[in-house]
């Protein structure tokens, strides 16, 4: 008996160590980025800085705030995300509610019509041609509309309505003479705040983080979302000329520019991810909930 308990304790210890190691490995790159963003680039680039900030400086953030392209990108992303989330909710929620109602005819057909798009789609080029032919190229709508609702969100929201809105409630209101629009606005929506939060968060995060539709549909730089600007700075190494010129004049040496580049890099990562990382721990339960409702099998 005692041997059995001892081995359980040993198991616990090994398990805690295992989880700790995995957690540390996962969190280390994030800590590194945070530290690097407020350290002297010299220390970062030579490997002196590897965990905690060395030679504290907030120059990187100053450069980021001086960079016009980043601000324009930020503004665009906020607009695209806000507009996108609003349209998403506006067309998703009523539809999912309607699909959750028993009296809806042809429900099976409508569900198949939507679910089939999960199985098969036109693919990149035919979709691009549609977006082009409706005149959305180089407008905000190309970012916001083509992915505005997915079959998955329809299923999730519908499952939520089925589980939480009792039939008796709807029948009672109907007897009282309420029509469906009134019922949806005044009775169903107030009971549905969790699903509204879940859907808005998932879609908002996706919009905030996406770059590909902007890459193929936008060519006007003043419309670029933040992620495309990040791509230029972080991956293509096009550290924006305007920050160099307006900050210290054209007389910057090459070494100086390299230094600035790496300073800006880490700071811009922090600035772009900040809204999500701040908000996320508080909303974690909503995200988890979203994944779980989504896993309910039809």
Partner 1 sequence: MEIQPPLKQSRGYKIKKKFVANWQLYLFLLPVMTYFFIFHYIPMYGIQIAFKDYFANLGIFGSPWVGFEHFERFFNSYYFWRLLKNTLILNTYMLILFPLPIIFALSLNELRNGPFKKWSQTLTYAPHFVSVVVVVGMLVAFLDPNTGLVNHFVRLLGMKPIPFLTAPEWFRHIFVWSGQWQSLGWGTIIYLAALAGVNPELHEAAKVDGATRMQRILKINLPSIMPTIVVLFILNIGNFMQIGFEKVLLMQNNLNSETSDIIQTYVYETGILQGQYSFAAAIGLFESIINIILLVTVNQIARKVSDNSLW
* Shortest Cβ 249–partner 1 spacing (Å): 25
Nearest Cα neighbor of 233 from 266, 184, 278 is: 266
In angstroms, what CA-CA distances link 29 with 35, 56, 219, 248? 10, 19, 33, 31
Compute CA 64 distance to the chain's CA centroid, rounded to the nearest angstrom.
22
Of 59-67, 160-168, 189-197, 203-211, the window that binds partner 1 (rule: CB under 8 A) is: 203-211
In angstroms, what CA-CA distances link 291 with 164, 185, 279, 285, 295? 17, 26, 18, 10, 6
Options 72, 74, 79, 101; binder of partner 1; rule CB under 8 A: 101
Options 37, 67, 81, 227; binder of partner 1; rule CB under 8 A: 227
Q: Where are the alpha helices (DSSP H) in the chain?
A: 2-37, 41-45, 59-66, 68-100, 107-119, 124-133, 140-144, 151-164, 167-175, 180-183, 193-209, 212-217, 226-230, 241-248, 254-294
Options 38, 89, 149, 156; binder of partner 1; rule CB under 8 A: 149
Compute CA 19 distance to the chain's CA centroid, rounded to the nearest angstrom.
26
Please give the size of the binding site for partner 1, defined by CB under 8 A. Answer: 94
- Positions in 236-295 near partner 1 (CB under 8 A): 262, 265-266, 269, 272-273, 276-277, 280-281, 284, 287-288, 291-292, 295
Nearer to partner 1, 244 or 261 (CB): 261
Options 13, 15, 166, 172; binder of partner 1; rule CB under 8 A: 15
Q: How many residues does the chain have?
A: 298
Options 83, 137, 140, 145; binder of partner 1; rule CB under 8 A: 145
Nearer to partner 1, 131 or 165 (CB): 131
Nearer to partner 1, 110 or 248 (CB): 110
Which residue is it, tokens 């805690």?
16
Nearest Cα neighbor of 80 from 140, 156, 39 is: 140
Options 64, 69, 99, 264; binder of partner 1; rule CB under 8 A: 99
Phi then psi dihedrals of residue 148, to 5 deg: -65, -35
Residue span 79-98 as binding mask against partner 1, x where in contact by CB under 8 A, dash where not? -----------xxx-xx-xx
Q: Give Cβ neighbours of residue 161 (< 8 Å, ≥ 6 apart).
A: 96, 97, 100, 188, 192, 195
Of 58-66, 164-172, 207-215, 244-252, the window that binds partner 1 (rule: CB under 8 A) is: 207-215
- Positions in 153-172 near partner 1 (CB under 8 A): 154
- Positions in 114-133 near partner 1 (CB under 8 A): 114, 117, 119-131
Q: Which two tokens stand for residue 110?
A: 């409508």
Of 56-64, 147-155, 163-171, 249-257, the window that binds partner 1 (rule: CB under 8 A) is: 147-155
Nearer to partner 1, 190 or 249 (CB): 190
* Shortest Cβ 226–partner 1 spacing (Å): 9
Contact status, residue 225 vs residue 77, Cβ threshold 8 Å: yes
* Shortest Cβ 293–partner 1 spacing (Å): 11
- Positions in 27-66 near partner 1 (CB under 8 A): 27, 29-30, 32-33, 36, 44-47, 50
Q: Which two tokens stand for residue 37?
A: 């963003």
Q: How far apart are CA 192 and CA 189, in angstroms?
A: 5
Which of helix, strand or coil describes residue 200?
Answer: helix
Compute CA 217 distance to the chain's CA centroid, rounded to the nearest angstrom.
19
* Shortest Cβ 244–partner 1 spacing (Å): 19
Nearer to partner 1, 105 or 250 (CB): 105
């Amino acid at each position: 008996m005692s041997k059995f308990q001892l081995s359980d304790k040993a198991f616990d210890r090994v398990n805690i160590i295992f989880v700790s190691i995995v957690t540390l490995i996962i969190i280390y790159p994030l800590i590194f980025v945070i530290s690097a963003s407020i350290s002297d680039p010299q220390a970062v680039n030579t490997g002196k800085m590897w965990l905690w900030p060395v030679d504290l400086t907030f120059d990187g953030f100053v450069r980021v705030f001086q960079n016009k392209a980043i601000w324009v990108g930020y503004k665009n992303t906020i607009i695209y995300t806000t507009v996108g989330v609003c349209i998403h909710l506006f067309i998703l929620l009523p539809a999912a509610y309607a699909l959750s109602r028993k009296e809806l005819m042809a429900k099976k057909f409508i569900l198949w019509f939507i679910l089939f798009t999960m199985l098969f789609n036109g693919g990149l080029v035919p979709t691009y041609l549609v977006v082009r032919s409706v005149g959305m190229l180089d407008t905000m709508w190309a970012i916001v509309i083509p992915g505005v609702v997915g079959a998955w969100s329809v299923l999730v929201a519908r499952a939520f309505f089925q589980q939480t809105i009792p039939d008796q409630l709807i029948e009672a209101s109907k007897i009282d003479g309420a029509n469906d629009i009134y019922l949806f606005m005044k009775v169903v929506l107030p009971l549905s705040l969790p699903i509204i939060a879940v859907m808005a968060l998932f879609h908002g995060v996706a919009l905030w983080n996406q770059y590909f539709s902007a890459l193929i549909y936008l060519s006007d730089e003043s419309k670029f979302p933040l992620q495309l600007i990040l791509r230029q700075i972080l991956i293509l190494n096009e550290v924006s000329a305007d920050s160099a010129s307006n900050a210290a004049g054209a007389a910057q040496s090459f070494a100086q520019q390299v230094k600035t580049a790496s300073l800006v890099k880490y700071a811009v990562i922090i600035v772009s991810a900040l809204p999500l990382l701040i908000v996320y721990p508080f909303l974690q339960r909503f995200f988890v909930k979203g994944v779980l409702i989504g896993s309910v099998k039809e």
